[in-house]
């Protein structure tokens, strides 16, 4: 046993709210328009800028080599926050929430692990790379993760090409087909030793590993220590820190047996195979010359400057649109727009008209002045470009520039000339948020938002969805300053008849409570309003500030709102009408990030010929929130919402279990047009909890073997996830995920899609029987009930992967599928196979729908019968488990024989000395 002193390593995690990002472009082998943004809470330090430049420059050379001369980093923009000195050029359409790489301060002590947030499946681009300032500044991390440039390439592969890690911290070892205990790695040519690591304080000891009798694998404290010097160049997605590693695993070096996320998500394909099938690879050829060094541009985010550009054409008088627009814009001005922002207002029909020049949001009075300037008359035609030109003039009022300024464009009409000013939109470098109201809004609106990479919004003429207020509530500065951002807690509406009630509950948690508004809207007659705090205090309409023209009532809770459940009841006294309740708040403490939810679809457009995926990320800072009830509402042009419960169980559309990303397939297309997404989240005390993020991280290595001796890295503080799962408490959130468009669909009836892929199949050998379990898919993606299951097995993982239909078919005649989302369990006795020590079997399955349409083949589950020794025995990685068992068994048998023989001899000797009984 060896005692080794190691230095403590502070591990931290940072916070942020992220949204849709600007696309990085590949041009002549070089990536350009890559934005690296620094969070406003990061203290100004020019050394961070130096380290970013060094990292990306180093990464460019490493990426160029690893990709065979196909890719390098050409153009990088570093976006500095408003909190840094104003010595840099003003940013244009770049923003923190759209950046593909973010640098942020820690929130809770968990880790400086560089990681990439990935939502989707294999080959799908990730959302962002997260690096902490300490990772950039502290060289202690070089021994842990390797050179920063190499780490950046590891994360870039996650982000750009949608590949996954080739290690697995939850399953660090597995039994190979050769009945050996192997470290989970790629390639298998990486050598090292496995030792048990135990640390107390800053002192650690290492000793030989023992076998866990339950799994026949090394025990939980056993770690794989790779040799510092290797003879293999692969793989970057396993351990980029090794000096010899310069390549991704390809088909020749890929370890398809390893139980890692790359094999699970990418169907046992190599990382290089995924990259080769990417759009980047197909549009590039290897360069024959050395690429230039990256070019860096430093820019700073300015104050938020916004112009509301509001349609007042004649059609806005229909369906009460004008008043609804005023209600929603008032919510934006009084509750949503962040303090310190500058706001102007322009209306347009056939011409543009300035209603309010730029005015700074300083207090409640300045907000009310802006709200009074909202338009109240609708007439004329619709010429969006005339309005845009007027809005540009207003935006130039502060610094003679429109760079980085924002326009909120709302319109309900068609305009065939809108395409004529798209070049002006591009050259203005203005961020344009578009809100399409009703079914006839100009189809070109999405193009304007796509130019600047922001969400598009839409609202129908159905009032009970509260869609128009949701659209305005979904617009934020994009600065990354969550303390200043308005958080929507509730957004509900209901058509209620005469003498009927509309009731609801809003849970205010400890992360929010400042600047809390309860806002009620109605169509015709003011309802009776009753609001009860958690302590039992009742507020009535008399406590609300009412506007009888706009049909709104608003209550601001003084100070920090009381935590707990707030109950509201709205009573309609007269004719049937729609009433709504909107609740917004801000962070209770600037040093504690609020619980947030962000939602989006996996794509902006669809032809209705394949399922789409709904995603909602629930988090506090960068920590995932688990155990929440998440519901999506997808509204078509007709205003009828389709309701989906989103899941975080690792099945169906959900790629990773318990990562705070809740997902579900959407298949209920109702024809062409715009669809809007809204997500509501409810967390309950004792159920909703924080957890650590486990996927997409660069691997932490406890140490290396150099000259036959283990050299330990600084210790990573242990994190017991059971202890770490902090109770979040009860909370309510509501958010919009913007708009997506269906085009090219024939008719209004969607096709019947195949059952979704089974992605969590597990297998176990119990005596002579096989036990399988998985989450049931649906008949139509993850909806309904599948017709039948097809299960096959093989002694070869590769044969089962390559030719599923040729594998041995399992009799499932007694197995009846359950509804989608149910837990399926199935046991059977395999025919013509004797389960004995050393047996390893592989299983895969697929589901059939009502019309016998088949799902993709599931993940491959492994079941092994490897008998452990009677007592834990020290092993090294790669030891033949069966051989060890036989040796131990032989030794035990020999000892037993020796003892028996000795006893027999002793007994005979004793009998010879005893006199016979008479």
pLDDT at 904 over 50: no
Segment 750-757 shows an average pLDDT of 93
Range of the domain at 655: 605-688+727-742
pLDDT at 870 over 80: no
Question: What pLDDT sits at residue 273?
Answer: 98
| Residues of the chain above pLDDT 70, percent | 90
Q: pLDDT per residue over 484-529, tens digit each?
A: 999 999 999 999 999 999 999 999 999 999 999 999 999 999 999 9
Segment 259-280 shows an average pLDDT of 97
Co-location of 450 and 310 in the same domain: yes
pLDDT at 846 over 90: yes
Question: What pLDDT sits at residue 199?
Answer: 81
Co-location of 307 and 296 in the same domain: no
Segment 413-421 shows an average pLDDT of 88
Q: pLDDT per residue over 779-816, tens digit each?
A: 999 999 999 999 999 999 999 999 999 999 999 999 99
Question: What pLDDT sits at residue 516?
Answer: 99
Q: pLDDT per residue over 139-194, tens digit each?
A: 999 988 999 999 999 999 999 999 999 999 999 999 999 889 999 999 999 999 99
| Residues of the chain above pLDDT 90, percent | 78
Q: How many domains does the chain have?
A: 5
* Last residue within a domain, chosen from 451, 479, 507: 479
Question: What pLDDT sits at residue 3?
Answer: 35
Least confident of 100-109, 607-616, 744-753: 100-109
Question: What pLDDT sits at residue 317?
Answer: 96
Co-location of 460 and 513 in the same domain: no
Tell me how far CA of residue 644 lies from CA of 504, 672, 682, 725, 777, in angstroms. Answer: 20, 20, 14, 27, 15
pLDDT at 406 over 90: yes
Sheet holding 731-742, edge to edge: 605-606, 731-742, 673-683, 629-635, 641-646
Other Cβ atoms less than 10 A from the Cβ of 528: the count is: 12
Least confident of 235-244, 341-350, 449-458, 547-556: 449-458
Segment 694-700 shows an average pLDDT of 79
Question: What pLDDT sits at residue 724?
Answer: 56
Q: Which of 289-298, 688-697, 848-857, 902-911 has the largest mean confidence?
A: 289-298
Instruction: Select the more confidently predicted residue: 447 or 125.
Output: 125
Q: Is residue 714 part of a domain?
A: no
| Mean confidence (pLDDT) of the chain | 90
Q: Is residue 184 part of a domain?
A: no
pLDDT at 453 over 90: no
pLDDT band at 895 (very low <50, low <70, confident <90, very high): very low
Co-location of 290 and 319 in the same domain: no
Co-location of 541 and 568 in the same domain: yes
Instruction: State whether residue 899 is helix, strand or coil.
Output: helix
CA distance 391 to 347: 9
Co-location of 347 and 460 in the same domain: yes
* Last residue within a domain, chosen from 427, 453, 479: 479
Q: pLDDT per residue over 535-582, tens digit each?
A: 999 999 999 999 999 999 999 999 999 999 999 999 999 999 999 999
CB-based contacts of 442: which residues, under 8 Å, 6+ apart? Answer: 382, 384, 411, 413, 414, 415, 418, 436
Q: What is the DSSP string of 197-244?
A: EEEETTEEEEEEEEB-TTTSSB-TTEEEEEBSS-S--B-HHHHTTSTT
Least confident of 13-17, 383-387, 472-476: 13-17
CA distance 537 to 269: 61
Least confident of 31-40, 440-449, 625-634, 763-772: 440-449
Co-location of 326 and 457 in the same domain: yes
CA distance 790 to 771: 15
Question: What pLDDT sits at residue 41?
Answer: 93
CA distance 641 to 249: 45
Question: What pLDDT sits at residue 717?
Answer: 58
Q: Is residue 137 part of a domain?
A: yes
pLDDT at 778 over 90: yes
Co-location of 375 and 456 in the same domain: yes
Pair of tokens at residue 655: 């790629």
CB-based contacts of 716: which residues, under 8 Å, 6+ apart? Answer: 9, 11, 111, 144, 700, 702
* Cα 902 to chain centroid, rounded: 68
Overall residue count recorded for the chain in this entry:
918
pLDDT at 446 over 90: no
pLDDT band at 868 (very low <50, low <70, confident <90, very high): low
Smallest CA-to-CA distance from 668 within 736, 739, 748, 601 is with: 748
Question: What pLDDT sits at residue 721?
Answer: 55
* Active-site amino acid positions: 155
CB-based contacts of 825: which residues, under 8 Å, 6+ apart? Answer: 771, 772, 773
pLDDT band at 898 (very low <50, low <70, confident <90, very high): very low
CATH of the domain at 679: 2.60.40
Question: What pLDDT sits at residue 449?
Answer: 80
Q: Is residue 254 part of a domain?
A: no
Q: What is the DSSP string of 397-432?
A: TTTS--TT-EEEEEE-S--TTGGGGHHHHHHHT-EE
CATH of the domain at 766: 2.60.40.10
Q: Is residue 312 part of a domain?
A: yes
Tell me how far CA of residue 665 lies from CA of 169, 207, 234, 599, 630, in angstroms. Answer: 29, 49, 36, 14, 14
pLDDT at 107 over 80: no
Q: pLDDT per residue over 719-733, tens digit each?
A: 555 555 688 999 999
Co-location of 338 and 468 in the same domain: yes
pLDDT band at 464 (very low <50, low <70, confident <90, very high): confident
Segment 370-381 shows an average pLDDT of 97
CATH of the domain at 449: 3.40.50.410
Question: What pLDDT sits at residue 718?
Answer: 58
Q: Is residue 160 part of a domain?
A: yes
Co-location of 555 and 680 in the same domain: no
Co-location of 371 and 454 in the same domain: yes
pTM: 0.90
pLDDT at 652 over 80: yes
* Cα 66 to chain centroid, rounded: 27
Segment 640-655 shows an average pLDDT of 95
Q: Is residue 913 part of a domain?
A: no
CA distance 9 to 715: 6
* Last residue within a domain, chosen from 832, 850, 865: 865
Instruction: Select the more confidently predicted residue: 918 or 649.
Output: 649
Co-location of 618 and 659 in the same domain: yes
Q: pLDDT per residue over 593-642, tens digit each?
A: 999 999 999 999 999 999 999 999 999 988 999 999 999 999 998 888 99
Q: Are strands 352-360 and 342-348 parallel, antiparallel or unpaired?
A: antiparallel
pLDDT band at 873 (very low <50, low <70, confident <90, very high): very low
Q: Is residue 219 part of a domain?
A: no
CATH of the domain at 503: 2.60.120.380
């Amino acid at each position: 046993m060896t005692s080794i002193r190691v230095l403590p390593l502070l591990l931290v995690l940072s916070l942020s709210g992220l949204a849709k990002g600007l696309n990085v472009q590949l041009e002549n082998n070089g990536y350009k328009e890559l934005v690296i943004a620094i969070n406003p809470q990061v203290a100004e330090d020019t050394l961070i800028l130096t380290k970013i430049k060094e990292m990306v420059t180093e990464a460019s050379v490493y990426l160029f080599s690893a990709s065979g001369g196909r890719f390098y980093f050409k153009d990088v923009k570093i976006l500095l926050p408003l909190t840094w000195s104003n010595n840099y050029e003003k940013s244009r359409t770049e923003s923190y929430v759209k950046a593909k790489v973010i640098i942020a301060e820690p929130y809770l002590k968990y880790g400086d692990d560089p990681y990439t947030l990935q939502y989707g499946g294999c080959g799908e681009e990730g959302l962002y790379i997260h690096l902490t300032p300490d990772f950039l500044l502290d060289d202690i991390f070089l021994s842990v993760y390797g050179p920063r440039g190499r780490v950046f390439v590891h994360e870039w592969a996650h982000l750009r090409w949608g590949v996954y890690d080739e290690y697995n911290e939850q399953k660090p070892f597995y039994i190979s087909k050769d009945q050996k205990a192997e470290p989970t790695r790629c390639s298998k040519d990486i050598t090292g030793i496995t030792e048990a690591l135990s640390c107390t304080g800053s002192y650690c000891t290492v000793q030989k590993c023992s076998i866990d009798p339950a799994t026949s694998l090394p025990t939980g404290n056993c770690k794989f220590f790779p040799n510092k010097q290797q003879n293999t160049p692969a793989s970057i997605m396993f351990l980029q820190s090794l000096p010899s590693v310069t390549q991704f695993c390809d088909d020749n070096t890929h370890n398809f047996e390893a139980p890692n996320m790359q094999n699970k998500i990418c169907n046992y394909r190599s990382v290089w195979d995924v990259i080769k099938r990417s759009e980047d690879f197909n549009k590039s050829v290897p360069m024959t010359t050395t690429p230039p060094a990256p070019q860096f541009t430093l820019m700073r985010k300015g104050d938020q400057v916004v112009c509301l550009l509001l349609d007042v054409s004649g059609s806005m008088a229909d369906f009460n649109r004008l008043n609804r627009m005023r209600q929603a814009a008032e919510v934006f001005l009084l509750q949503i727009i962040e303090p310190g922002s500058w706001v102007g207002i322009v209306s347009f029909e056939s011409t543009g008209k300035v209603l309010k020049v730029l005015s700074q949001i300083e207090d409640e009075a300045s907000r009310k002045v802006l709200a009074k300037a909202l338009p109240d008359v609708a007439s004329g035609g619709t010429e969006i470009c005339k309005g845009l030109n007027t809005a540009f003039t207003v935006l130039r009022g502060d610094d003679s520039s429109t760079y980085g300024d924002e326009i909120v464009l709302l319109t309900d009409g068609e305009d065939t000339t809108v395409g004529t000013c798209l070049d002006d939109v591009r050259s203005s470098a203005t961020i344009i948020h578009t809100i399409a109201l009703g079914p006839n809004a100009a189809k070109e609106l999405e193009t304007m938002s796509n130019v600047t990479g922001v969400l598009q919004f839409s609202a129908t003429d159905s009032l009970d969805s509260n869609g128009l207020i949701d659209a305005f509530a979904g617009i934020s500065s994009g600065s990354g300053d969550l303390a200043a951002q308005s958080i929507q807690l509730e957004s509900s509406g209901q058509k209620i008849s005469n003498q009927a009630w509309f009731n609801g509950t809003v849970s205010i948690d400890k992360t929010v409570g400042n600047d809390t508004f309860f806002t009620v809207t109605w169509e015709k007659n003011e309802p009776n309003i009753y609001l009860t705090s958690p302590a039992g205090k009742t507020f009535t309409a008399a406590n609300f500030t009412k506007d009888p023209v706009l049909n709104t009532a608003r209550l601001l809770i003084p100070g920090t709102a009381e935590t707990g459940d707030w109950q509201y009841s709205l009573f309609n006294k007269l004719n049937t009408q729609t009433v709504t309740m909107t609740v917004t708040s801000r962070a209770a403490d600037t040093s504690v990030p609020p619980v947030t939810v962000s939602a989006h679809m996996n794509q902006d457009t669809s032809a209705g010929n394949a399922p789409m995926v709904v995603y909602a990320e629930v988090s506090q800072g960068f920590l995932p929130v688990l155990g929440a009830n998440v519901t999506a509402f997808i509204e078509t042009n007709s205003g009828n919402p389709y309701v989906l419960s989103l899941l975080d169980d690792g099945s169906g559309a959900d790629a990773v279990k318990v990562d705070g990303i809740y997902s579900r397939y959407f298949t209920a297309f109702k024809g062409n047009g715009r669809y809007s997404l809204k997500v509501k989240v409810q967390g309950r005390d004792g159920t909703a909890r924080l957890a650590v993020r486990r996927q997409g991280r660069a691997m932490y290595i406890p140490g290396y073997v150099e000259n036959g001796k283990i050299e330990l890295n600084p210790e990573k503080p242990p994190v017991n996830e059971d202890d770490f799962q902090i109770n979040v408490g009860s909370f309510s959130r509501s958010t919009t995920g913007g708009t997506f468009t269906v085009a090219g669909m024939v008719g209004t009836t969607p096709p019947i899609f195949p059952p979704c892929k089974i992605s969590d199949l597990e297998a176990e050998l119990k005596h002579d029987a096989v036990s399988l379990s998985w989450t049931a898919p649906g008949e139509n993606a993850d909806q309904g009930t599948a017709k039948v299951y097809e299960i096959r097995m093989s002694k070869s993982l590769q044969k089962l992967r390559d030719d599923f239909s040729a594998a041995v078919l399992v009799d499932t005649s007694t197995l009846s599928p359950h509804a989608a989302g149910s837990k399926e369990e199935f046991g059977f006795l395999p025919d013509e196979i004797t389960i004995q020590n050393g047996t390893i079997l592989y299983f895969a399955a697929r589901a059939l729908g009502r019309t016998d349409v088949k799902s993709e083949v599931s993940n491959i589950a492994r079941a092994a019968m490897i008998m452990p020794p009677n007592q834990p025995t020290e092993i090294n990685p790669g030891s033949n488990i069966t051989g060890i068992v036989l040796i131990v068994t032989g030794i035990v048998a020999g000892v037993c024989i020796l003892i028996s023989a000795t006893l027999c001899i002793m007994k005979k000797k004793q009998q010879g000395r005893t006199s016979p009984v008479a």
